[in-house]
Structure 1
Amino acid sequence: MNALNKTYTTRLNYPLTWRYDSVRYVPMRPLPNALPVTVTGQGWRLLRANLGWGTRPAVLRPVPLPGTRYLPADAWRIGLQSALEGVQVTEWAGDTLRLTFDRYASRQLRLALPRDSARLYTARFSPAVVTFRGPASLIAALPDPYPVMVPHAADKRDEEVEVALEPPTRVRASVPSVRMHWKPRFEQSRNSLRRTSQPNQ
Structure 2
Amino acid sequence: MIVETALRLFRERGYEATTMRAIAAEAGVSVGNAYYYFASKEALIQAYYDRAQKEHEEACRDLLATETKFAARLEGVLKAWVKVSEPYHAFAVKFFKHAAEPDNPLSPFSRESSPQREAAISIYREVVAGSRDRMDPELRRELPELLWLLSMGIVLFWVHDTSPGCVKTYRLIEVSVAMVDRLVGLSHLPGLRGITKDFIAAVQELRA
* TM bucket, shorter chain: under 0.3
Under a length normalisation based on structure 1, what TM-score does the superposition of the two structures give?
A: 0.22
Q: Which has the higher strand share?
A: 1
Larger Rg: 1
